[in-house]
Amino acid sequence: MIARPFKLPKESDVLLLSAELSAERTASVVRMVTGLVLLAAIAFVDRKSDFSPIGEHQILYAQMTVFTLFLSGLVSYGLVRIRLWRWWMSFVTATIDMLIVAINMWLNVWVTGLTGQYILSFPIVAALPLVLASNVLRLRPSVQIYTTVLLVLSLVVVGVYAKPAFVPLPHSPELMVEDQFGWQPNFARVVILLITGGILILAAARGRKLLVRAVEETTIRLNLGRYLPAEVAPVLAEGRISELKAGRRSMVTLMFVDIRGSTAMEESLSPSAVVELIGTFREHVMAAAAEHGGVIDKFIGDGAFLVFGMPEPGEDDAARALACGRAILERMDQWNLERGRHGFEPILIGIGVHSGEAFIGAIGNDMRLDFTVLGDAVNVACRLEQATKLHRVAFLVSGETLDAAHADRRAWRHIGEQCLRGRAGSVELFTPADLAGWETPKAEPAIHAS
């Protein structure tokens, strides 16, 4: 039988969306601040310089470009604030940014008279790394790849197709290029480089913060994973630790498994042999539990406590528990055959299974949680496992479990009814009809377990 797949809500999607909105908000703020700083730098240069008509046009184009970038950041910020931002809008803003820069380069070619082969001399080209650095804050490689492709295409298109407004040039190309490296353009380049460096520092700081948070959360979950059943890992992965702490009451099927006569047997074995024996026994139980969707709540010495119905209950919990019990017995038979070939005594076990309502939850703090299953059903399942010694059978199941599994009672031998300590009323006991007991005597109809 194949274990049921876990169906958990994708809470991580909500967290990821929140993180992306936060990253986009930060990127928008950075673009607005960058726009204001560049506008201030352009105003400073404009006041300190007496530009030629060409220079005045370049200043105007730069102001228009920076102001448009500022507006783009402002609109993005507003959309994020009112939660109307969508994932595809990052590509739209990246397109707008690169289109604005490309238009500025085209206008520079047009007004200066320099051909496309000189576009790298324009101060606006220094803004290209700035645009790429701003996109790093978005934490989306796809947007960065898209922007990089647009950048290359922009340089190619402007370099090939942009034409100057007048030919021939008023001055030689060398002299025109030299004008692009005066103190004013170089001042703009330095400011852009400083802003780019600041953005990259911010991106590194945010990345470091995310890394530290991930390490801390992973450490907490690893610590919790040491004390919680492995099957609860999906709950931890979805950040639902609070759900475990709150607990719930649920219908479950519970199983106790224990080795018979282990105390006397262990006294005759060396410590290493005891470790090997218990380890092999646990491996068989874990394998059977994994095959049938059982959660091993804990191993108790040479015994085990299994829960069927975690992390979510299912209609086939009882049926899977019964199949798991048979699988454990089959594995024990194979193990005993192997032990017999080496001259060892067979290992006898007792299995008790009961279905009922129980409290399921985790108790403790973030450094250690103890997974707990409490309730009358736990007591009944434990008593059934102990009753296998009284009835000298390997597998005892309550009538409630057979009903929950919709099992055919004709395939089960009725042992009788038993009153259990600490519980009012009796429990019907059944064992598989096709399983032989340990020289099973005739069972009394009602036996009181001590």
- Per-residue pLDDT of 173-197, as tens digits, reads 666 777 788 888 899 999 999 999 9
pLDDT at 13: 62
Give the pLDDT band (50/70/90) at residue 255.
very high
> pLDDT exceeding 70 applies to what percent of the chain?
82
- Residue 417: band (very low, low, confident or very high) from pLDDT cuts 50, 70, 90: confident
Share of the chain above pLDDT 90, in %: 41
| pLDDT at residue number 164 | 83
Q: Looking at residue 75, what is its pLDDT?
A: 94
Alpha-carbon gap, residue 423 to 52, rounded angstroms: 100
Burial class (CB in 10 A: 0-12, 13-18, 19+), 234: middle
pLDDT at 12 over 60: no
Q: What is the mean pLDDT of residues 74-83?
A: 92
- Report whether 240 contacts 359 (CB < 8 A): no
> How far does CA 346 lie from the centroid of its chain?
44
pLDDT at position 67 is 94
Q: What is the mean pLDDT of residues 420-448?
A: 64
Residue with tokens 């049926």: 319
Give me the CATH topology for the region 243-448. Alpha-Beta Plaits (3.30.70)
CB < 8 Å & 24+ apart, contacts of 406-413: 406/319, 407/318, 407/319, 407/322
Distance CA 24, CA 72 (A): 12
CA distance 221 to 263: 36
50 against 206, higher pLDDT: 206
Over range 441-445, report the average pLDDT.
38
Beta strands per DSSP E along 264-348: 295-300, 303-308
The pLDDT of 101-120, averaged and rounded, is: 88
Question: Domain residue spans in the chain?
Answer: 11-221, 243-448
As a whole number of angstroms, the distance between CA 329 and CA 326 comes to 5
21 neighbors 27 (Cβ within 8 angstroms) = no
Average pLDDT, the chain: 83
Instruction: Give the residue among 251, 260, 254 at the shortest CA–CA distance from 392.
Output: 260
CB 319 within 8 A of CB 353: no
- Mean local confidence (pLDDT), 302-315: 88
